Amino acid sequence: MPSSTSVTWTLRPWPKAAGGWGASVTTWLEAGEQMASLASDIRQFLVGEQ
């Protein structure tokens, strides 16, 4: 049985922003190649690569 892990993404406004909203989503991945692929995609997104 493959191992899996969850990653929870949470978005919130700056601390002094009005409204106090928040949103989150949890992504379930199989450990190994799916996790490595996600890490690569996130790295590319954060540095602005396409």
- pLDDT surpasses 70 at 1: no
Structure confidence at residue 25 (pLDDT): 94
Q: Which residue has the higher pLDDT, 2 or 24?
A: 24
Residue 2 CB partners (closer than 8 Å, separation 6+):
30, 31, 32
Tens of pLDDT, residues 10-37? 998 888 887 888 999 998 988 888 888 9
Structure confidence at residue 40 (pLDDT): 92
- pLDDT surpasses 80 at 39: yes
